[in-house]
Structure 1
Amino acid sequence: MKSIAERKVLLQVNNLKQHFTVKNDALFKPKTVVKAVDGISFELYEGETLSIVGESGCGKSTTGRAILRLDEPSAGEIYFGGENLLTVKKKDMRKLRGDLQVIFQDPFASLNPRQKVKQILNEAMATQKSVEKEKRPERMKELLEYVGLPLESLERYPHEFSGGQRQRIGIARALAVHPKLIICDEAVSALDVSIQAQILNLLKQLQRQFNLTFLFISHDLSVVRHVSDRVMVMYLGKIVEIADKKSLFDKPMHPYTHALLSSIPVPDPTIKHERIILKGDVPSPINPPKGCRFHTRCPFATDLCQETEPELRELEKGHFVSCHMVEKI
């Protein structure tokens, strides 16, 4: 298998911003802007799994939706296969949907309850014209085999399946159109732990089989550790650290990443485990702090952190950190 450095860049995001305007009740009151994602840049390589982690509200899911153009980004560039998705007309964007698929958090809400499984899969193939009509029944059988569901599932409705089985249907629907990139938005967080492991192993198996690329969005660091090649940590709409999985878990450099990793439960009660408790609440994305956005909760913050926003710097090969004090921590 090729190393990350040897792989082709499939997705490149440059200075992506996603700001939402909130309506005000007062007639002459200025508009309120929520800076959900505020100028992030990263690359995703062909055949890898890049995970995005962070607290609720950090911009993880918003980033995924912006890449898919489910929400139109406020600014930036998103290059997929060398083409800027933000310059593609909406009518032409549909043609690219086959290459860009998503697996949602709630499999029941993302499946049409009035359609049988065969109709759900057929609709995906018909919309993208990815499989000729006469070949679709055979393709459906293949898809069910890939995701580990029996053939009779084609004649059943979503409510007749368990949560894990419904997520397998969602995966089959994504595979039906031969995608290159699949965005997994909290794809296992609604499932029992034992089922989570099955779905994660299935995703890794399918990735090897079809050379899939995953952007995996999750708040569960144990899951991220199992599935990722690289990990990107976000805080309040900004990237604070990006590194390969081993480097980030073995040697985190940003204070926020330290705090996140300290929250992972240790199953052995004989091992002393010091948890870092961050003081205060996450600031509002409507009015984020000046300078480093983490400085209001950081135990190492200085006057520089309060005034100047740190750049995302490569401190070790492939390990990028956005922190003024990282060398002194």
Structure 2
Amino acid sequence: MDTTAEKNIILQVDRLKQYFPVKKDSIFKPKAYVKAVDDISFELFEGETLSIVGESGCGKSTTGRAILRLDEPTDGKVLYMGKDILTLNKKDMRKLRGDLQVIFQDPFASLNPRQTVKQILNEAMAIQNVVEKSKRKERMLELLGYVGLPPEALERYPHEFSGGQRQRIGIARALAVNPKLIICDEAVSALDVSIQAQILNLLKKLQKQFKLTFLFISHDLSVVRHISDRVMVMYLGKVVEIAEKKEMFDSPLHPYTKALLSSIPVPDPTLKRDRVILKGDVPSPIDPPGGCRFHTRCPFAAEKCKQEEPPLRELVNNHFVSCHLAETLPV
């Protein structure tokens, strides 16, 4: 893999916030907000796979939806090829959606059960006007070939397929409009393990074939280890660590990342290793703790951690961490 310095930035997220209002309990209490994504910044390089990981509720999927404007962000910038897509009107945003596609977690819920595969693929191409009407059938057959489905699948409905086959249809639909960036939102988590491997290998093959860029959202660190170039760890709406995959798995710097990695199952029952057990529950995103948001569960937290929010800083080459004590923590 090329170093990030040699790659072009395809997506730049700058201080992105996504707050969801909570209704007032009474006229005397001010409106509160769920701070699902709170002031995060990162870059995505052309042709790479950046994975976002973290516990449920950390803001992974909300980040993907905010980038695509499926939910309108509260604040911040999302620069795609240097253009802030959050400033685009509906007409310009619709044109851009051909470049930005998504593969959803549930391949059954994301496909219209009343449409055949032919209608599903045709609708995508018609909206973006990427293929002449007379050539769409030929293009559909090409797409089915890319994702490993037979030609007769065109006339069938989503319920006639298995979960893995439905996800292949979702991938074909994303490819139908010639995208440059695909956000994979837990794209394999609803599938059996053996099918997960097939879909992951398919995604890697298609990425190389069509020079795609992936933002891969997952809670499964084994999957992330297989497909990623870089990994970004989130906790309670914040980015706590970003690094190259090998660096992240071999030398994590943040206590939360260390805890996550220690939870990966090991296939060898005779192999013993130290588990990092986090105490307590994740705080509420409506009223997150001050300072470092992880300090309420961190075994190393100092007084400074409770008072000052740590900045995301580059500690070693291309390895960023948000922790006051990262240099002094045990390996």
- TM-score range for the pair, normalised by the shorter chain length: over 0.9
CA shift for structure 1 position 23: 1.3
CA shift for structure 1 position 32: 1.5
Long gaps (5+) in structure 2? none
For the residue of structure 2 that corresponds to 1:328, the secondary structure is: coil
Please tell me the residue identity of whatever aligns with 2:107: P
Looking at structure 2, the residues matched to 25 and 40 of structure 1 have their Cα atoms a distance apart, in angstroms, of 29
Please tell me the residue identity of whatever aligns with 2:176: A
Looking at structure 2, the residues matched to 191 and 311 of structure 1 have their Cα atoms a distance apart, in angstroms, of 37
CA shift for structure 1 position 5: 2.2
CA shift for structure 1 position 3: 3.3
CA shift for structure 1 position 91: 2.1
| Pairwise CA RMSD | 0.8
- For residue 119 of structure 2, what is the aligned residue in structure 1? 119
- For residue 4 of structure 2, what is the aligned residue in structure 1? 4
List structure 1 segments (4+ residues) > 3 angstroms apart after TM superposition: none
- For residue 85 of structure 2, what is the aligned residue in structure 1? 85
What are the equivalent positions in structure 2 for 1:121-270 lying under 5 Å apart? 121-270=121-270
Looking at structure 1, the residues matched to 27 and 3 of structure 2 have their Cα atoms a distance apart, in angstroms, of 57
Looking at structure 2, the residues matched to 92 and 21 of structure 1 have their Cα atoms a distance apart, in angstroms, of 28
CA shift for structure 1 position 25: 4.2
- For residue 102 of structure 1, what is the aligned residue in structure 2? 102
- For residue 54 of structure 1, what is the aligned residue in structure 2? 54
CA shift for structure 1 position 2: 3.7
Looking at structure 2, the residues matched to 7 and 14 of structure 1 have their Cα atoms a distance apart, in angstroms, of 19
- For residue 68 of structure 1, what is the aligned residue in structure 2? 68
For the residue of structure 1 that corresponds to 2:124, the secondary structure is: helix
Please tell me the residue identity of whatever aligns with 2:94: R
Looking at structure 2, the residues matched to 144 and 3 of structure 1 have their Cα atoms a distance apart, in angstroms, of 34
For the residue of structure 2 that corresponds to 1:42, the secondary structure is: strand
1:150-184 CA-to-partner distances (Å, cap 9, x unmatched) read 00000000000000000000000000000000000
Please tell me the residue identity of whatever aligns with 2:79: Y
CA shift for structure 1 position 228: 0.1
Q: Tell which deviates more after alignment, 272-281 or 174-183.
A: 272-281
Please tell me the residue identity of whatever aligns with 1:284: S
Looking at structure 2, the residues matched to 101 and 119 of structure 1 have their Cα atoms a distance apart, in angstroms, of 18
- For residue 38 of structure 1, what is the aligned residue in structure 2? 38
Q: Tell which deviates more after alignment, 1-10 or 133-142.
A: 1-10
What are the equivalent positions in structure 2 for 1:241-320 lying under 5 Å apart? 241-320=241-320
- For residue 321 of structure 1, what is the aligned residue in structure 2? 321
1:158-212 CA-to-partner distances (Å, cap 9, x unmatched) read 0000000000000000000000000000000000000000000000000000000
Please tell me the residue identity of whatever aligns with 1:129: N
* 8 Å Cα contact 1:266/1:273 also seen in 2: no
Looking at structure 1, the residues matched to 121 and 50 of structure 2 have their Cα atoms a distance apart, in angstroms, of 27
Question: What is the TM-score of this pair, normalised by structure 2?
Answer: 0.98
Question: What is the TM-score of this pair, normalised by structure 1?
Answer: 0.99
Q: How many residues align?
A: 329
Looking at structure 2, the residues matched to 273 and 106 of structure 1 have their Cα atoms a distance apart, in angstroms, of 34
Looking at structure 2, the residues matched to 115 and 272 of structure 1 have their Cα atoms a distance apart, in angstroms, of 51
CA shift for structure 1 position 7: 1.1
CA shift for structure 1 position 321: 0.3
Looking at structure 2, the residues matched to 12 and 299 of structure 1 have their Cα atoms a distance apart, in angstroms, of 33
Looking at structure 2, the residues matched to 123 and 9 of structure 1 have their Cα atoms a distance apart, in angstroms, of 31
Looking at structure 2, the residues matched to 27 and 324 of structure 1 have their Cα atoms a distance apart, in angstroms, of 40
Q: Tell which deviates more after alignment, 85-94 or 241-250.
A: 85-94
1:215-236 CA-to-partner distances (Å, cap 9, x unmatched) read 0000000000000000000000
CA shift for structure 1 position 27: 3.2
Long gaps (5+) in structure 1? none
